[in-house]
Chains A and B, each alone.
Chain A
Amino acid sequence: MTVPLRRLRPSLARYGLTAAMALILVVLVAAPLATILIQTLQSGGGAWADVLASRLSQNLFWRPATNTMIIGLAVAGGCVLLGGFLAWLVVMTDVPGRPLIAFMATLPFMIPSFATALAWGSVFRNGRVGGAGGLLEGLGFSVPDWLSWGMVPTIVVLIAHYYALAFTVIAAALSTVNGDLVEAAQMTGASRKRILFGIVLPVVTPAVIAGGSLAFAGAVSNFAAPALLGLPVRMQTLSTRLFGMIEIGQTERGYVLAILLIAISAIFLGIGNRILNSRRSFATISGKGARPRRFTLGTMRLPLALLAWTVCILTTLLPILLLLAASLAPSSLSLFSDWTLHYWIGAADPAFARGQPGIFHHPQLISALTTTLMLGAGVVFAANALGLLIAVALTRQKVPVLSNAVSQLSFLPMLLPGIAFAAAYIALYGAPIGPLPALYGTKLLLGLALTAAMLPFAVQTGRATVAQISGDIDEAARMTGAGFFHRLWAITLPLAARGLAAGLLISFVNVIGDLAITVLLYTPTSPLLAVLSYSYASDGFHQFANAVTLVILVISMLATCAATLLRGRRRQTFA
């Protein structure tokens, strides 16, 4: 027995983890996607012809695809610049109010993008869709259509929503920059610019690419912003198109669009991956070294602080304030008058709000709250454990083809619109497979789908961190006979903790706010908060929907606070 095992061990050590991860990804990601693909082919592939080569394809695919790519690239660029700038300010400089900036810069991602779009509208909207104009029109300016609707506002709103992703990932990476290097450079008289481009930027390249990729993938699959801001000037993206196709019952065309969206994005993201993989080592954490000294900003200190604060307030406080006002104001047209707490705590009154009692009287609020939290926690740990293992497999074991497949598969869920993803899960796991019972309507199915959906976040953040951990320590440990899991537990985990915390946070916030997937998969007996909010909204009870959204937001903020505190304590123990 021992002989074959021993013979097996080297190859197991070389490929085992990657192979195991590949297997899990096939179950979680590839199989459901293949199910959709087969469905689009079953009826003779007519839907493919419609989308790609018919009189309709121009409007059905090509134009929306072009818009989608422009938005994706612009948002990725914008997010990296804005998120990177704030991360640099917070981690590397002496700008005043750093902790608060750091906290606020993580919030926009938790605010639903429709609220950010709403915030844009409340300032910039013009008379094109009637109703009341925005703040600027109220002041007597005439706002042109391009600033009110379409590409520009969609891009700006999505940057304001997703830059938090880039910030979180880049900040985590920046805080691992070896202080000795920076100090050495400073002592030898290198300019600030030189240090930034010579030391800091190369070190955070993986994080920049990871952050940009997340922002890109989020932007191309976002629905709310282009639907709210693009439709009035008839700008369609792949996500609005495919949502519409599913909504009007042309599911196959919707799936084809989903597959194409995945394919196109995969090409763009593949380029990012290639850059990340081709550069062998980004190792910067060597287990020693001082924390970086902060740059003194000098005369630029106040202007830069002002800039950072403006960004934070515009992208966090303003949307939150509007959301809050919208949960208190009876009329969505005058958000700041006649406020009432009825939508929160009011008892049913037939004369008001069509007899709907406040959300705290909703019989399912508490169960929705607990289910949301439990599911959120479970999914987050599962996804991030997998994410870390995948990240380790990708960095430590370079297996031809298989590594690439793992990398691509783990990113795919990000590109798949939730509703299509949920449909794929139902199609595959809804019915019994051999001896396995049907998972339809179980929390397990929802948990699996959400875990898969969160993998891209978990893997990206895991990779950005693990990529920086020097192989030296790992090798040293291996030579002293430490086993794989022991090394993972004793070396990788502690060193990667900060990056992991970021990953945990992003995916937790994403899980509890997710609607697209849960809306099809939630177990009817215990809805989730996001589903509750959605069903209020779909009946025109916007104040109630906004109130529930705020509850979700508060949970997200508490989680962020907790994570920040944990991180702070860890930093102290290391210092």
Chain B
Amino acid sequence: MLKMLAPFCALALATSAYAQDLDSKSVADLLPLAKKEAKVTVYAFTSRIGRVEEAFEAAYPGIDMVAFDMSSTEQIARIKSEAAAGVAGADVIYISDAPVVLTELASQNLVTRYVPPRMESLVPEQFKSPLLAQRLSTKVLMYNEEAYPDGSPVKNLWDLTKPEWKGRVIMVDPLQRGDYLDLMTEIVLKSDDMAKAYEAAFGKPIALGEGIDNAGEQFITDLFANDLVLVGSTDDVNKAIGAKGQKNPPIGFTSYSDRRDNEDEGWALQVANDIEPSNGIVFPAFLALNATAANPAAARLAIDFMMGDDSNTGGDGFKPFYVAGDWPTRTDLAQHPDAIPLSDFKSWQIDAAETAKIRANVADFVLALQ
């Protein structure tokens, strides 16, 4: 009986007054409350959460972090089911897949925003609302630096539609992975830039084909028509592009941060930064609260911890995420020595709300092509 009542108690506790009170509390004030709760559950889309767990438990002995590593898609399915079942599975949600999270979870208040007071002045407004973004990841054009030691063989996205790249552009099927669909969607959203880049590449204004509404759609059509190679996972893309010893390696879209595996895997992945009009997309990873969190204070403490401490690399809480190719949203952390600074990185930052609006249409458009 008590077990069945627990969710309702949690619900009652999480009433807005109590929650607002907690939102403004400092770490010192949260700590005793969190210690009383003694536990915090985290859903995370990366296995790096295992190292966060260790660091958190070392920093706050007596509070047990229970972390579950599952993909954003699974998290979304789980969170929806849990809400329907009236069960609060996780206290903290660490998740990517912004367009779906914002339109299907945040808008229904299944996950809610929390910005640690400490972070108010450190994180720019765009990354604090509607949810707090912890870091930014990428899906960008990468090439093989062993085969092309003088830099990217491509200078313009439209080059990928030219005959010399026929059958040699590779990416994950955008109808299998959400972040690649977001990339396609962004290209459509940035059609004006794409039209300009077309002129730069071909020296004439773009002429749209039948049934095609904008330069972005034209690009996607031409890319598919140029025998674009689709695979099932980012890892397959990395292998295809990055493998050393290739005479004529393909080029394609993958994560900039996967370059950190070059040494372990024997790859020669390098990012193509100087691309007209852009080399791809940058998107956020959110840290959010479960609206009915069973451990509201510990949940806030955990989010605060994962945003990093006051040192210039973010300390142990942020350490697993301080890698080249991922950028913290905090403005005060030191630039990673091996990475291009975000300000010099030529990517589009996705606008999750705008993306969500036309994402399904773009999916249909891609579907009609293959």
By a beta-carbon cutoff of 8 Å, the part of chain A in contact with chain B is 55-56, 59-60, 127-132, 227-228, 231-232, 234, 236, 240-241, 243-250, 330-334, 352-356, 423, 426-427, 430-432, 437-438, 440-441, 519-520, 524-525, 535-536, 538-542
Contact = CB atoms under 8 A, between A and B. Distances in A.
Contact of B231 (A59, A231, A241, A330): A231
Given A59-B368, A426-B81, A132 B243 contact: yes
Contact of B85 (A330, A355, A431, A536): A431
B82 A440 contact: yes
B71 interface: yes
Contacts of A438: 85-87
B341 interface: no
Given A248-B181, A440-B85, A520-B78, 8 more contacts: A128-B229, A132-B246, A227-B176, A231-B230, A333-B243, A334-B266, A437-B4, A539-B46
Interface string B246-265: 10111000000010110011
B19 interface: no
B175 interface: yes
A535 B47 contact: yes
B74 interface: yes
Given A330-B264, A333-B243, A438-B86, A430 B363 contact: no
B121 interface: no
Contacts of A427: 81, 84
Contact of A333 (B100, B239, B249): B239
B178 interface: yes
Contact of A234 (B85, B181, B230, B266): B230
A427 B87 CA distance: 13
B364 interface: yes
A72 B322 CA distance: 47
Interface stretch (B62-70, B112-120, B186-194, B300-308): B62-70
A131 B368 contact: no
Contacts of B81: 423, 426-427, 430, 440
22 contacts: A59-B368, A127-B248, A129-B239, A227-B176, A231-B173, A231-B176, A232-B230, A246-B73, A248-B177, A250-B363, A331-B264, A332-B265, A352-B264, A353-B264, A426-B81, A427-B81, A431-B84, A441-B82, A441-B87, A520-B77, A535-B47, A541-B47
Nearest to B172: A231
Contact of B239 (A60, A332, A423): A332
A538 B71 contact: yes
- 4 nearest CB pairs, A to B: A130-B240, A539-B47, A430-B85, A130-B250
Nearest to A364: B50
Q: Which of B104, B175, B239 has the most CB of A within 10 A?
A: B175
B240 A129 contact: yes
A55 B368 CA distance: 7
Contacts of B258: 540
A352 B170 CA distance: 29
A241 B370 CA distance: 11
A331 B46 CA distance: 21
A240 B73 contact: no
Given A131-B243, A355-B51, A520-B77, A227 B368 contact: no
A130 B243 contact: yes
Interface string B94-126: 000000100010000000000000000000000
B223 interface: no
A513 to B, nearest CB: 19
Contacts, number: 153
A129 B231 contact: yes
B161 interface: no
Contacts of A437: 4
Given A130-B250, A430-B84, A441-B89, A231 B241 contact: no
A84 to B, nearest CB: 32
Contact of B245 (A59, A132, A430): A132
Nearest to B4: A437
Interface string B353-366: 00000001001100
A218 B88 CA distance: 35
Q: Which of B66, B235, B264 has the most CB of A within 10 A?
A: B264
A244 B85 contact: no
A331 B265 CA distance: 4
Contacts of A334: 266
Contacts of B2: none
Contacts of A243: 176
A314 to B, nearest CB: 24
B69 A249 contact: no
B368 A542 contact: no
B41 interface: yes
Contacts of B229: 128-129, 232
Contact of B175 (A248, A330, A431, A542): A248
Given A247-B177, A332-B239, A333-B243, A129 B73 contact: no
Interface in B223-246: 229-232, 234-236, 239-241, 243-246
Contacts of A430: 81-82, 84-85, 87
B355 to A, nearest CB: 12
B82 A129 contact: no
Given A248-B175, A249-B76, A250-B360, A440 B239 contact: no
B367 A56 contact: yes
B306 to A, nearest CB: 17
Contacts of A131: 239-240, 243, 246
B130 interface: no
Contacts of A248: 174-178, 181, 363
A127 B168 CA distance: 10
Contacts of B78: 520
Given A130-B241, A520-B77, A60 B367 contact: yes
A524 B68 CA distance: 7
A128 B66 CA distance: 43
Given A59-B370, A130-B240, A520 B176 contact: no
B137 to A, nearest CB: 13
Interface in B196-235: 229-232, 234-235
A362 to B, nearest CB: 9
B167 interface: yes
B5 to A, nearest CB: 12
B264 A524 contact: no
